[in-house]
Amino acid sequence: MSTYIFGRSTMVNMDPLFYPEAVAVVGASPDIVRDRAGFFGSLRECFKGRLYPVNPRHAEIQGLKCYGRVKDIPEQVDYALVMLPREKVPAVLEDCAAAKVKFVLVFTSGFSEIGDFELERKLVDIARAGGTRIVGPNCIGAHCPENGLVYYPPMMSDNPGDVAFFSQSGGHALNFLIRGLSLGVAFNKVISVGNQADLRIEDFIEYFGADERINYICGYVEDIKDGERFKKLARSIIIEKKKPFIIWKGGRSEEGARATRSHTGAMAIPVKIWDSVMGQLGVINAESQEEMADILTSLRLGFLPRGLNTCILVAGGGSSVELTDAVSLNGLSVPELSEGVQDAIGEGISRVNTSTRNPIDLGMFGFAPNIFVESAARAAEDPAIDIIMVCQYPEIVSFMVKELWEASADLIVEGLSKIKKPVVMVIPRVVHHRADVDEIRADFTRKLNAAGIPVYTSAARAARAARKIARYLDYMKRNAG
């Protein structure tokens, strides 16, 4: 186990939390209703270390010997999950402290978030006396699939992953993890921090910054307790470690900020101040969970636009207006292409019912995959263009002539993958609630992603993500060295 030094501070070594050898589940139950969160069952199925259920009412749970108290466990416990009613938590923490348990997750709620600061402080005092550190209370703790320490079995993965996520909401920890997995994101570690009575977001950020397995750090926060420490950590992570750092802050509206006070007791930070500080730090400031996922997945695919000048290619005048509106209202520019590039694109298509100015409306030629990809490649030759945004309607094309779509998809992916500038695909969701159509779209998306091309269901989403990534890259350029 290594000692981490990060900047000048001495970091909390979280290895025994994320890579425990021995885990205790206090309040484990064979009853699925009592094991409400299902965490014991999940660890029984997935955890690669030694697992100890603790519950005086059982001799054995799911084939494992069950212990009456933590101190009865015959080895030192690295990580204990406590899921008992709140009045029973202090006594269990005394046991954990006496047994020198390294980390305790207090899953239980009903502490500072309902105003009981005293009981929460008591937990911390008891734990610290034995050198035990607390995650929570009021959270779901640590997830590290490398080690089989998972919230739920479907979250296991052979891919060790390179993304970390910290969350002030247990629900969002699950939610973003499930969303990310379905988008092909491999999470190395996730932490739900709860009330942060002892271990704070800043401790996890520091550890994730130093962790060489992790290349991307994402977070959901409602407030930051130690602003100065946060700023130092953010600077180190972004500029020294060169890890993109994406934060989605809850409470961006006044009414949402009021809701964060009911949720985590967060002090409201005016959104303008938040946005400005994040901008100064180079933190990528996501405005929703969807946007955080959009930015993360695009970055991981290598979508790295150096500016905001976008060329839009699509079949149809109405669609070209629609995409231009969405892109333009979300911060990108759609400049007229140079004459030479327009002429080159124009050579391949009719001059009737098309436009080469930008947006490029290919008309019916947009359904010819070779012309579509050649036009995109030519647009990419314009030095004024930073981003190639292409749009396809597999749902409509396959609705009209299914064979045409099947013959087109692979040619489009192959052609676009050769373009050296950042390419992003928009596939509007036109048809809803049709499994066959969903599959056509999913299959095309998978192929494009495999070729390093991000895919969005709207030009607005694509534009917002591109703008934030371009701003981050600009920040990195200005702060190089």
Where in 119-158 is the site for a copy of itself (CB under 8 A)?
138, 152, 154
Binding track over 40-79 against a copy of itself, x by CB under 8 A: ----------------------------------------
- 13, 236, 338, 458: residue in contact with a copy of itself (rule CB under 8 A): 458
Binders of a copy of itself in range 373-432 (CB under 8 A):
393, 395-396, 399-401, 428, 430-432
Nearer to a copy of itself, 74 or 318 (CB): 318
Tell me the C-alpha distance between 249 and 155, whole Å. 25
The three state secondary structure string of the chain is CCCCEECCEECCCCHHHHCCCEEEEECCCCCCCCCCCCHHHHHHHHCCCEEEEECCCCCEECCEECECCHHHCCCCCCEEEECCCHHHHHHHHHHHHHCCCCEEEECCCCCHHHCCHHHHHHHHHHHHHCCCEEECCCCCEEEEHHHCECCCHHHCCCCCCCEEEEECCHHHHHHHHHHHHHCCCCEEEEEECCCCCCCCHHHHHHHHHHCCCCCEEEEEECCCCCHHHHHHHHHHHHHHCCCCEEEEECCCCHHHHHHHHHHHCCCCCCHHHHHHHHHHHCCEEECCHHHHHHHHHHHHCCCCCCCCEEEEEECCHHHHHHHHHHHHCCCCECCCCCHHHHHHHHHCCCCCCCECCCCEECHHHHHCHHHHHHHHHHHHCCCCCCEEEEECCHHHHHHHCHHHHHHHHHHHHHHHHCCCCCEEEECCCCCCCCHHHHHHHHHHHHHHHHCCCCEECCHHHHHHHHHHHHHHHHHHHHCCC
Q: Binding residues for a copy of itself, how many (CB under 8 A)? A: 87
Nearer to a copy of itself, 55 or 320 (CB): 320
Nearer to a copy of itself, 351 or 478 (CB): 351
- 75, 125, 226, 254: residue in contact with a copy of itself (rule CB under 8 A): 254
- 113, 120, 211, 374: residue in contact with a copy of itself (rule CB under 8 A): 113
- 69, 231, 263, 306: residue in contact with a copy of itself (rule CB under 8 A): 263
Smallest distance, a copy of itself to C-beta of residue 462, A: 14
Nearer to a copy of itself, 237 or 385 (CB): 385
Binding track over 300-319 against a copy of itself, x by CB under 8 A: ---------------xxxxx
Under rule CB under 8 A, residue 445 binds a copy of itself: yes
Q: Minimal CA–CA distance to 179: which of 248, 238, 237, 234? A: 248
Tell me the C-alpha distance between 372 and 390, whole Å. 9
- 59, 156, 329, 450: residue in contact with a copy of itself (rule CB under 8 A): 329
Nearer to a copy of itself, 160 or 171 (CB): 171
- 38, 68, 160, 302: residue in contact with a copy of itself (rule CB under 8 A): 38
Smallest distance, a copy of itself to C-beta of residue 68, A: 26
Binding track over 207-246 against a copy of itself, x by CB under 8 A: -------------x-x------------------------
- 5, 10, 34, 36: residue in contact with a copy of itself (rule CB under 8 A): 36
- 141, 219, 359, 415: residue in contact with a copy of itself (rule CB under 8 A): 359
- 9, 13, 236, 355: residue in contact with a copy of itself (rule CB under 8 A): 355
Residue with tokens 């080469």: 356
Phi then psi dihedrals of residue 219, to 5 deg:
-155, 150
Cβ 193 vs Cβ 168: under 8 Å: yes
* Cβ burial 394-408 (10 Å sphere, 16+ → b, else e): bbbbbeeeeeebeeb
Smallest distance, a copy of itself to C-beta of residue 376, A: 18
Nearer to a copy of itself, 237 or 327 (CB): 327
Nearer to a copy of itself, 188 or 356 (CB): 356
Nearer to a copy of itself, 59 or 156 (CB): 156
- 159, 276, 280, 288: residue in contact with a copy of itself (rule CB under 8 A): 288
Nearer to a copy of itself, 228 or 403 (CB): 403
Smallest distance, a copy of itself to C-beta of residue 13, A: 28
Binders of a copy of itself in range 330-349 (CB under 8 A):
333-334
- 30, 49, 148, 256: residue in contact with a copy of itself (rule CB under 8 A): 256
Virtual CA dihedral for 44, 50, 55, 57, nearest 10 degrees?
80
Binding track over 169-188 against a copy of itself, x by CB under 8 A: xxxx-xx--xx--xx-----
